[in-house]
Amino acid sequence: MQNHMKPNATSAATGAMPLLRAVDVHKSYDRLEVLKGISMDVEQGEVLALIGASGSGKTTFLRCINLLEEFQQGEIDLDGEPIGYRMTGGRRRKIPEAALSAQRARIGMVFQSFNLFPHMTAEQNVMLGLTKVRGKPAAEARDIARHWLERVGLAERRGHYPFQLSGGQQQRVAIARAVAMEPRLVLFDEVTSALDPELVAEVLGVMQDLARSGMTMIVVSHEMLFVREVASRVVFMDGGHVVAQGPPQELFRDPESERLRSFLGRFHGVFS
Amino acid sequence: MLAYNFNWDVIWRQWPTIIEALLLGIGLAVASLAIGCIIGILCAFGRVSRHKWLDWAIWSYVEFIRNTPLLLLIFFVYFGLPQMGIRAFDKIESFILTLSLYAGAYMCEVFRAGLASIPNQYVEAAKAIGLRPWQRQLYVVLPVMFRITLPSISNTLISLFKDTSLAAAIAVPELTFTARQINANTFRVMEAWLTASALYLATSYAIAWVLRLVERRYSVIR
């Protein structure tokens, strides 16, 4: 996976804008603050892994990126454009839903519980965004859907409904649905956590294939072997903060943070 | 000892009229269900829209309809509206209007429960691929809600079909009215009411059977 190792300083060195930049993102549910100032840059082609214990805020942060969660302070920019909020007259306002939908269309997302549309076949699930959001004719959308379903190994299952597919197959359809839209980046939210152990590998295999093709990905995962293999950078979150980050080899070999060390200690055998 | 001599001749002679009356009843029920579903969907969305006044207005409508006898509503619309200067409807239209409002109130509750039972994850997935709010409703929420509520829609259609018998009260020539006519003209009491009953029973079963096929076809959510 060395070909994906990109130094963090790319944008600083070239002066180019990062694909995604989060600056001081704060989020609270009522009085409970779950994100306490998250900042990070994600470069084009990077595979960023967000790790941390449950409750550390990693999934919440991921959901803030396409505004499935609102956040009260800070900014997330995609290609330099602020996501979800605008400053108008010195006040921070949510942008209109139509504009928000257009922004979300540039970000793919794969969920823990697959979330396939239950009344549509695998192929129709992939086609919906292509025809209704991208405005592609049905025939072209069908070709694209078939291409991606084949790519995730489900060419024969394209006419199946979600309830006729295994969890691993459903999740691969969900990945095809996300990437067929040609998003700028894809968010993966613990996508293997709801799968039976024997089905995890087929999904991780698809993700590894996408990573190799240069897709920019942010992955929340507990699959430490996968993270070590595929991620170009790992961000460790704890208690709503980014505690440590770096390339997985460095970060896992010699964790400076005590909290990261104790977190990694739970994954016996993986890091010894 | 049964002291009644059956004579089915009157029924056979009146058979075309009876079948016409039955079809009219089915037509009234289907039309009212269709209009009622539209009213119901609009009201269900109105109730979840968080507009306080809209919610209150729809709640009042639903409670009024559901707690008032249908026959009284039929009389009110048929006899009351013309008194108030609204003479736009003949008796069939007036009955369809009443039964649609009646069905709409029940369907509102059915659809509201349906909307509430749609897992949020489907809406989130629709958001994530960039569908606009109305597209999310049209392509994801409504089709899923329709499938969830299909059994309730079937039950409503059957009960609406049986309720069309109340149209006899305003002389709409549906099955009950026709049976009463035969009864009045020929005094064949048992033949007339047994025939009507059998036809209601058979039709209700047929509707249930057809709708079960539809349910099986569309029940893709398990």
Tens of pLDDT, residue by residue over A250-260, are: 888 888 888 88
Residue of A nearest to B217 (CA): A119
pLDDT at A269: 61
> What's the gap in Å between the CA of B137 and the closest CA on chain A?
12
Domain with B107 in it: what CATH number? 1.10.3720.10
pLDDT at A1: 38
Residue of B nearest to A66 (CA): B128
Tens of pLDDT, residue by residue over B148-157, are: 999 999 999 9
Tens of pLDDT, residue by residue over A193-230, are: 999 988 999 999 999 999 999 999 999 998 888 999 89
Any domain includes B2:
no
* Chain B residues touching chain A at CB-CB below 8 Å: 121-122, 124-133, 135, 139-140, 143-144, 147, 218, 220-222
Report CA-CA distances (Å) from B105 to A95, B41, B208: 36, 10, 22
Domain that holds residue B61: 10-218
Any domain includes B212:
yes
In this predicted structure, the answer to whether residue A16 has a pLDDT above a threshold of 90 is: no
Choose the closest CB to B122 out of A68, A108, A115.
A115
CA B177 – CA B28 distance, rounded (Å): 14
The whole-chain average pLDDT of chain A stands at: 89
- B117: tokens are 């039972």
In this predicted structure, the answer to whether residue A7 has a pLDDT above a threshold of 60 is: no
Any domain includes B4:
no
Q: Chain A 97-116, CB below 8 Å of chain B: which residues?
A: 97-98, 101-109, 111, 113, 115-116
Q: How confident is the model at residue B1 (pLDDT cuts 50, 70, 90)?
A: low
Which residues from chain B sit within 8 angstroms of residue A118, using beta carbons?
Answer: 122, 144, 147, 220-221
Q: Per-domain residue ranges for chain A?
A: 116-182
How much is the average pLDDT of B61-90? Answer: 90
Q: How confident is the model at residue A39 (pLDDT cuts 50, 70, 90)?
A: very high
> What's the gap in Å between the CA of B115 and the closest CA on chain A?
15
Any domain includes B189:
yes
In this predicted structure, the answer to whether residue A6 has a pLDDT above a threshold of 70 is: no
Size of the A and B interface in Cβ pairs below 8 Å? 78
Higher pLDDT, A89 or A244: A244
Domain count of the fold of chain B: 1
Tens of pLDDT, residue by residue over B160-217, are: 999 999 999 998 888 899 989 888 888 888 888 999 999 999 999 999 999 999 888 8
Tens of pLDDT, residue by residue over A109-165, are: 999 999 999 999 999 999 999 999 999 999 999 999 999 999 999 999 999 999 999
Choose the closest CB to A97 out of B124, B133, B144.
B133
Which residues from chain B sit within 8 angstroms of residue A174, using beta carbons?
Answer: 125
